[in-house]
Structures are given as structure tokens and as C-alpha cells.
Chains A and B, each alone.
Chain A
Amino acid sequence: MKKLFSIFLLMVLALVIAACSSDSSSDGEDNTSDSNDTEEPTESEETTEGSDEEASGGTVEIFSWWTGAGEEDGLLALIDLFEQKHPGIAIDNAAVSGGAGTNAKAVLATRMQGDDPPSTFQVHGGAELNEGWVAADKMEPLNDFYEEQGLMDKFPQDLIDMVSKDGNIYSVPVNIHRGNVIFYNMQVFEENNIEVPTTMDEFFAVADKLQEAGITPLALGDKESWTSTQIFENILLGVLGTDDYQALFDGDIPFDDERVVEAAELFKKTLSYVNEDHASRNWQDASQLVGEGEAAMTNMGDWAKGYFSNDLDLATNEDFGYFPYPDTVGDFMVITDTFGLPKGVENPESVKEFLSVLGSVEGQDAFNPLKGSIPARVDADPEKYDQYGKDTMDDFNNGKLAASLAHGSAAAEGFVTKMNQAVNIFVTQLDVDNFIDTLKNASGEL
């Protein structure tokens, strides 16, 4: 008996030691996704290495964080299309799951620093690309590629500017998402006789009315604090307008400007209308509150539309509706996913083949309807998109574009991280002076 017990104890110890060692080794990697995700890149490494000899064939490894329902379908459709056109080139889908790409970005950073880049990877246009990978000299310019493919006039100039630095273009946008959207429960609005608010004043009036009726006006899930940052950036956009909004993040307007303080006050007021358990939820959980009618509205990028219609099974414009964030009606907060060509990949020609499919009308129309985004190209076919897509395409073509901060387009990742921290503290403390001070200190990073 004693012997048995000691053997048992030994096994327990072995277990503990195994657990400890795996703890420390995974510290630097992505922890929430399952181990398959982290293993994928290594497997594909071997395959790319194995196919060195073929100059343009081989494997194209696509690195993204598209693992959710609609987005994964879109990516697979795009891969299908590519494989039909180029049967000689294998595709390796190296997606890493995790909210808004936070885990994927960590894995990507590790691989890029280790000079082991994927063939092409998802990156938000704007600072995330330009101040990040381009500044680190890890990307190949794609000017010739754009000329060859005749892409120069196929994207809005503002968008090409977002993926360019010093006159060189570094990536191909595949889709556009809008960040300044509020989704709302139409039944709740009807029952309480509420009109869609277009200004912050109207918004607060609506919120008061809802609160009296015992409904949470605004659902928020800020377990990861970028969701709160997103609300703040929309308020900033409303107060400053598109030009001064960008000037703020270019460092031309200081953070103690009275309009920024005003935005912080509005942000503070907005936060008094959110659900109490916001810190325990993510954005999907918050959207669920709206779907169930416990809350009336939620601000989220329009990838939430796919969540409402596919995961919650709600009908667009019947069960849930959408409107631009108050005071930003004519503006379009752009979040664009783009793909570029890293330096040091083994088969750049194959990667360019992939980019050309990705940048084609056919490719964009295969991907976007499933993903629930709109195409980045101006000449895509609107008939392939649902009502929400058509509306958004209209707004995109006619609206003024602003780059999202929460998604790394307006400022470098370093500043975004500090901003998220400041917002996380502000959401609890609601101390405007402290918030402005912190932002001002952090703006040295810009």
C-alpha cells in the first residue's frame, strides 16, 4: 500500500513538474487558443523549406486571425478561388484565433523578429503597417505590383495612402469594416417609442429614457479594453471631425486641447449608461445583451453584424438595426485588413499571385459577402452584398474617412497599448484630469 502510494505521489510530482515547465514555455506565446494554432506555423515552415527548388510554385502561407464563423468562411472561399486559378501553388492557412487578433499579433511579432516571416499576413492598414513593419524594414514595396495589376485607381486614394509610406505602397487591402456603428434592438426602440439618435445630446436623451424603462441603454464588454477605446475614438471623431482627429494622432494637436477634454467628459457620461458587469464580458457577450433585449444598443465595428445575423440568428432591419455613432453621421471610421509581402520569403512570385487574386474584383467579392465586410475596391459588384453591405458601400464612397485608433490604424501599436491602459483605468476611476495627463504623457510616443 505504502509503495503504491509513493508511486502515485511520484506520478503527481511528475505531473506538476510537467505543468510548471509548460507554463513557463508558453509565457511568451498565445495562451487562449489551443495548441494546434501554435503548432501550425512550424508545420508550414517545413513545407516551405521542402519546396525550395520550385521558384514560383511551393506553398503560400497565409497568416491571419480569421477563425470566427463568417470570416473563416470568407478566407476559405478566397483560398478555393486561388487554388482553382493556380493549382500548382499550395496554400497553407496559418490562422491564430483570439479576439481582434491580439494573439495572432503576438505570434507574428515573434516570427518576424526571428526572421521567419509567413508568406503574407493580415495587417491593418495605417500605423500598424507603416509605423510597425515598414518602419522595421520588414516589408517589400509593392509599387510595381500595383502598376502591373492596374490597381492604382481601383482603390480610393485615401485608402492607398493608408497603406503607403514615403511614396511606397506596402500592402493590398482586401476589405473595409466600419468602426463607428451602433447596433440596436429594434423591438426595444419601438416599444419605447425611440427614434434613432444622430447627435450626442439626442443619444443621452434616448439613454435616459431607456434607463427609466429599466433597460440598459448601452451594452459594453470591455474584458479587453479596446472596446472602450473604440467608444472613445468615436466620440473623439464626433468632437474633432476627421481632419483634426488625425491631427491629434499625428501629434499636431495636444491632448490637453479643450475639445479632447470635452470628449473625455462625454465618454465619462456615456460610461454611466453601460451594463454593470461590462468587465466580465467580451464584445460578443455584449452583443448578446442587445440581441436578448436586455440592453438597447452597443457600439462595435460592423463585424458584429455577422455575429447578430449568423450566431444570434436575428434578421437585419427587423430584429436589429444600425446607425452611425452620434455626431459622426457623415464620417467613416475605417478598419481595413490588408496583406503585404514580407522581406525574405522564399517564393515571392507565388505570394504576388495570391495578392493579385486577393486584390481582384472576383477575390474581393468571394471573400467579403461571407466575412460581412465591404470590398476595398471601388468597382466591386454591390448586388453580391446584403442591404447592410450596400448601405455601407454607399457611406464608404461618400463619407469622410478616418483611421481607427483602437485597431492600430491611427497610431503606432506602442501608443495604442498605452491608450488602452489609460482607458482601462479611466473606465473605473472616471477621473478626467488624470486621463488627460496620462494621454499627454503617452503622446510622446507618437
Chain B
Amino acid sequence: MEQKIEKSTRVEPSTPIKKRRKISKDQMVAVGFISPSIILILIFVYGFIGWTGWVSVSNWNTLVPDFSFAGLKNYIYLFNDYRFQADLRNTVFFTILFIGLVIIMGLGLSILIDQKLKGESIFRNIFLFPMALSFVVTGVVWQWLLNPSTGFNQFLSVFGIQPKWYTDTNIIGGFEWGSIEFGLPVAIIAVVIAAVWQMTGFSLAMYLAGLRGIPEELREAARMDGGSEFQIYRRIVLPMLMPITVSVVIIMAHISLKIFDLIYAMTGSGANFVTDVPGVYMFETTFRGNYYANGSAIAIIMLLLVAVFIVPYLITNRRGDK
């Protein structure tokens, strides 16, 4: 540890010699406080990412560890695998629907709440409350609400509709793609409903904060210039909410790409894997089938998928800082 401290104090050539001691003392304290968490993160996050990557190119597919190099065998297996192809399809549609609906509903609700209505805080809390629940709780509740024989269907049967919700195995607009049928699985809609119900409050809070940050003078000025309310939202409010939207998309994307608990509690893999996601497959293949290398490969693929969203965000953020 002390070596590290020395090293970091040395890297500051431009500071005047007189001030040096003072600053280095400050920095020593700072580094002292930061280093435990840095070391822990290095080991328990980056170290294990590296370890997972290593396992994913090994032959460890039984209970007996086998670290011989397998190349990309496990990855090739996965991309030819029916279940994994289905998982990718489900993830794509889940992510698109989930992010889209969370943004639309969050924005809509926040604009409504922003209309200076009475009891605003009550509404805000009502919409935010689902977020306090765990995804497991949400999953169990919605499993019964959307159960084809017990839930909403009891009510809907009055109108003669009986959707099969998450047990529906149909694929909308399906066409052959690899070994699976590519299209929107009807069953995933049920899962999206539950996820949107839970996360809309979050985007609502974000947008509400954004709306409050837009100075009233801007709107006032636009009104003076004869802009209609719709134009004000279209030309002023929405563009100014752009940074919020980016944040919401990033946060929702990383939730939806890694989703596990909601699906696991609510539907499981589903008939014909219509509600399966990489997280569930990873868990089952690793800890039930003992395919450790395959499971690690899934983990790495999930990491890369999330990185597609996160990395550009981090890069633009860094540029912004400079």
C-alpha cells in the first residue's frame, strides 16, 4: 500500500515545490481513503471478469475443473444453440419494448404531474412506489395477475377475451433465423408489462427533475413569440430533456440486458423458451448442468452487450468533463 502512495505522489511534476508537501499530504489522505475500494474493485470486479473470461475459453464443462484451452468452442456452441438464439431474440424485443414504454410512460406521466396539480406529491409517490419492491416480488405478483386461468382473465372473460399472456408460444411476424423463429414472442409482452410497471416510476422521477430544471422564462419567451403549448414541448422542452433520456436509456438498458430475477420468479424459461433470457440460461447451465465454461461464455457475451451501451456513454461523459 505504501508503495502505491509514494508512486501516486510522485506523479505531479507541475506543482510548485513549496506547495508540494501540503498537497501530497492531502493526496495521501485521499489515496488512503480510495485505495481499499480500488483494491477490492480490482480483485472482485475486474479480477473476476478476467477469470470468467478465462473459464469461458476453457473446457470446464463438468464438475471436474478442466482449464485446458478450448478456443472459441463454447461461443460457437452457444451461437448455434437453439436456446441461446431464442434468448438473444427475447432480449432484443424485451429491451426495445421495455425502454420504449418506460420512456413514453415516464415522460407522459411527468408532464401530467408537472401541470401544477393539487396533491402532486401523492401522485408522485404512488407512481414511484413500485420501485421500492424487489423484482422477485413483482415477478410473483404478476405471475398470478397474468396467469391465464386465474388473473386478469377472470375479468376479461366478461368481454370474451382470453389472452394466454406468458404461456402464449406464438411469435408475431416470425421468420426462420438460424434454428429459431425470429419475431416478437407474445409471451415477452407479459414480462414487459411487469417490468414497465416497476420501472416507470424511475423515469418519471428523472423526467420530473428535468422538467423542473427548465427555466420558466424560456417557456414564457416562447409564449410571447406566439408559440403554442404543443410547439413549446416539441421545440423547447423535449430537446432540453435529451440528456435525461440518454441517462434513462443507459440505466434501463443495463437492467434489461442483465434481467434475471423478474423472469426467474415470474415465468421461468417459458414453453419453447419464449421468455428465456441469457441470465436464466447462464444460471441453469452453470449450476444445474455444470457447464461452467458455457455459462462463463454467456456471462462474457452479456458483458459485451451491456458495454455496447455503457462505453459510448462513458466516452462522451469523459469528453464532457474535459
Contacts and interface: CB of A to CB of B under 8 A. Distances in A.
A413 B288 contact: yes
Interface in B119-166: 128, 131-132, 134-136, 143, 147-149, 164-166
A15 B251 CA distance: 13
B228 interface: no
B148 A2 contact: no
B296 to A, nearest CB: 11
A417 B273 contact: no
B131 to A, nearest CB: 7
B205 A276 contact: no
A5 B62 contact: no
Of A23, A26, A113, most B-chain CB atoms within 10 Å: A23
Interface residues of A, number: 51
Contacts of A421: 82-83, 273
B290 interface: yes
B63 A133 contact: yes
B113 to A, nearest CB: 11
Contacts of A6: 209
Interface in A376-435: 412-414, 416-418, 421, 424-425, 427-429
A425 B273 contact: yes
A427 B271 contact: yes
Contact of A428 (B209, B265, B271): B271
Contacts of B63: 109, 112, 132-133, 135-136, 138, 413
B212 interface: yes
A214 interface: no
B165 to A, nearest CB: 8
A223 interface: yes
Nearest to B201: A12
Contacts of A224: 268
Contacts of B132: 15
Contacts of B254: 20
B269 interface: yes
B167 interface: yes
Interface in A108-142: 109-110, 112-113, 132-133, 135-138
B219 interface: no
Contact of A414 (B65, B283, B289): B289
Contact of B135 (A23, A277, A416): A23
Contact of B167 (A15, A138, A279, A416): A279
Interface stretch (A27-35, A233-241, A302-310): A27-35
Given A12-B128, A16-B251, A421-B273, 14 more contacts: A16-B131, A16-B202, A27-B279, A106-B283, A135-B63, A136-B63, A224-B268, A277-B167, A279-B166, A280-B267, A424-B271, A427-B271, A428-B271, A438-B82
7 contacts: A5-B209, A23-B135, A26-B261, A31-B264, A414-B290, A421-B83, A428-B272
Interface of A: 2, 5-6, 9, 12, 15-16, 19-20, 23-24, 26-28, 31-32, 102, 105-106, 109-110, 112-113, 132-133, 135-138, 222-225, 276-280, 412-414, 416-418, 421, 424-425, 427-429, 438
